[in-house]
Amino acid sequence: MAKRKSKFVCQSCGYESPKWMGKCPGCNEWNTLVEEVVAAKTARGNWATGTTTAQKPESITSIQLHEEPRIKTGMQELDRVLGGGIVAGSLVLIGGDPGIGKSTLLLQLSSQLAQREVDVLYISGEESTRQTKLRADRLDVSSDSLYVLSETNMVDVANQIDQLNPGFVVIDSIQTVYKEEVTSAPGSVSQVRECTSELMRIAKQNHIPIFIVGHVTKEGSIAGPRLLEHMVDAVLYFEGERHHTFRILRGVKNRFGSTNEMGIFEMKEEGLTEVLNPSEIFLEERSQGVAGSTIVASMEGTRPVLVEIQALISPTSFGNPRRMATGIDHNRVPLLMAVLEKRVGLMLQNQDAYVKVAGGVKLDEPAIDLAVAISIASSFRDRAPYPDDVLVGEVGLTGEVRRVSRIEQRVQEAAKLGFKRAIIPAKNMDGWTVPESIKIVGVNSVQEAIKAALED
């Protein structure tokens, strides 16, 4: 009798080892190596079947391109993140915290497509068909073209897709689906890899767009090996606080569009609704005339968004002052405070600093530097900036204010919402048309910006 061969696979990064180890050398995680039986390969080198689909190489000049129309979802925010709609044959992965609304979003998406006479197959491995029906009734989802299946066996899932031949498929979630040929448990590295590979084959051969849901770890990344994100065509993250109503859909990988786009939804009793003008939503609870509060015009992909940045500076009670930031890179706060202390002369070394982006938005572009610096200076001096000001600019280590991209769209969004003045880098003053309802102030340094925003 042949001896059974096994290997140990890390469930976090996919590292393989012939023997068990307490600590994974690949990701330095403890107790993540799980024993898996090695499947026998056939003479042809393929798993189990031994079939091949050999193709001959073609000259790149002889390949004909046919632009395929994208499938409009009926949800503008989702279409924007996807790059204009769903591409036929694409495999899209959606990740997010438990209870954030991934299943709700996909069920509403399935309903929108089904109403356009597209056959949709919604496969749930975590809920029964009755549980899915209960959620569908709560969301007022009902269509004869929407089919629901509760199945976890990959062979049965593939057979149902072949029989129905739908125009859209949802797998909720990939961690529950398994293949019998793979001896490891569902959700393991091997199972996730093999099932995703099978779904990718189905999507490409049949030109069926497939959306799969992926669980996330406590660190916020999608569970399983990074290979899962490399295999799919697009990776979307559904973010937001469970106790807040706003949800943000971001694309971190997209082979058919930009990864800088952001879609904003609001969770209501009847489901997710689109937020078409997020600037108004983020500013509706703004406190005017308060020190430490500024407005920045940030770009999320091709969309300008006006967001409030708040700063609180208070004397420290400890030897080392605290530096805390929510919604921006926490390393940016001490950097900007060092610039203010060295170039402007503000004594901040004995002050605690707390900086927050209101509304639960995460900003990571350098154009928000000037607004953060003015918020810190405003709170330190206890002087409120002008409520009708918008600030945009990158701050360098020498205190200079550097130019930013898409300044015209930022200023137009500020003018549309009634702001009277925009403080921007002086290098961005030329080459575009300024709206009549807003005044432009160009600054070359942080000192000039503080004088314009807090002293004029």
Does the structure show a pLDDT above 90 at 224? no
Residue 42 in domain: no
Residues 433 and 363 in one domain: yes
Whether residues 179 and 240 fall in one domain: yes
pLDDT at residue 105 is higher than 90: yes
- Rounded to whole angstroms, the Cα distance separating 375 from 310 reads 6
The model's pLDDT over 32-87, given as tens digits with 9 standing for 90+, comes to: 888 887 765 544 444 444 455 567 888 988 888 777 678 999 899 999 999 889 99
Confidence at residue 49, expressed as pLDDT on a 0 to 100 scale: 46
pLDDT for 192: 87
Assigned domain for 164 exists: yes
Say whether 439 counts as a known binding-site residue.
Answer: no
Q: What average pLDDT score do residues 79-104 get?
A: 91
- The annotation status of 319 as a binding-site residue, yes or no, is no
Same domain, yes or no: 295 and 400 = yes
In this prediction, what percent of the chain has a pLDDT beyond 90?
Answer: 58
156 annotated ligand binder: no
Do 231 and 172 belong to one domain? yes
Among candidate residues 226, 244, 276, the one where a domain is terminated: 276
Q: Which residue range forms the structural domain that includes residue 359? A: 281-455
Q: Is residue 303 domain-shared with residue 182, that is, in the same domain?
A: no
Task: Name the average pLDDT for the chain.
Answer: 88
**Mean pLDDT, residues 386-411:** 95
Residue 97 is assigned to a ligand binding site:
yes
Does one domain contain both 272 and 383? no
Check residues 448 and 62 and name the one with the higher pLDDT. 448
Q: How many CA atoms lie within 13 A of 164 on its CB side?
A: 23
Both tokens of residue 179? Answer: 């293949």
Residue 226, pLDDT score: 65
In this structure, the answer to whether residues 292 and 437 fall within a common structural domain is yes
Domain boundary among 251, 276, 301: 276
pLDDT at 46: 47
> What pLDDT, in 10s, does the model give residues 200-215?
999 999 999 999 998 7
- Whether 98 has a binding-site annotation, put simply, is yes
| DSSP letter (8 states) at residue 5 | P
Give the three-class secondary structure for 283: helix
Residues 253 and 324 in one domain: no
- 100 annotated ligand-binding residue: yes
**Is 66 or 269 the better-scoring residue by pLDDT?**
269
Identify whether 64 is part of a domain: no
Per-residue pLDDT at 404: 95
Asked whether residue 58 is assigned to any structural domain, the reply reads no
The pTM assigned to this predicted structure is: 0.76
Residue ending a domain, among 276, 296, 311, is 276
Structural domains counted in the chain: 3
Write the CA distances from 116 to 92, 113, 167, 271, 358, integer angstroms: 21, 5, 11, 20, 38
pLDDT of residue 375: 96
Cis-peptide into 173, omega within 30 deg: yes
Whether 352 maps to a domain, the answer reads yes
Work out the widest C-alpha separation in the chain, in whole angstroms: 89
Q: Are residues 248 and 347 in the same domain?
A: no
Confirm or deny that 427 is annotated as ligand binding.
no
What CATH number is given to the structural domain containing 167?
3.40.50.300
Residue with more model confidence, 270 or 157: 157
CB 110 within 8 A of CB 78: no
- Domain membership flag for residue 141: yes
Determine, yes or no, domain membership for 61: no
**Per-residue model confidence as pLDDT tens digits over 312-356:** 999 998 888 999 999 999 999 999 999 999 999 999 999 999 999
Which helix (H) or strand (E) element contains residue 315? strand 303-315
Assess if residue 125 is contained within a domain: yes
Q: Which residues contact 230 (CB under 8 A, 6 or more apart)?
A: none
**233 and 268 assigned to the same domain:** yes
Query: Can you give the CATH number for the domain in which 396 is found?
Result: 3.30.230.10
- Annotated ligand binding at 12? The verdict is no
Let me know whether 258 and 375 are in one domain. Answer: no
Closest by CA position to 406, among listed 452, 363, 367, 364: 367
pLDDT-derived band at 191 (thresholds 50, 70, 90) equals confident
Greater confidence (98 vs 272) lies with 272
- Same domain? 425 vs 288: yes
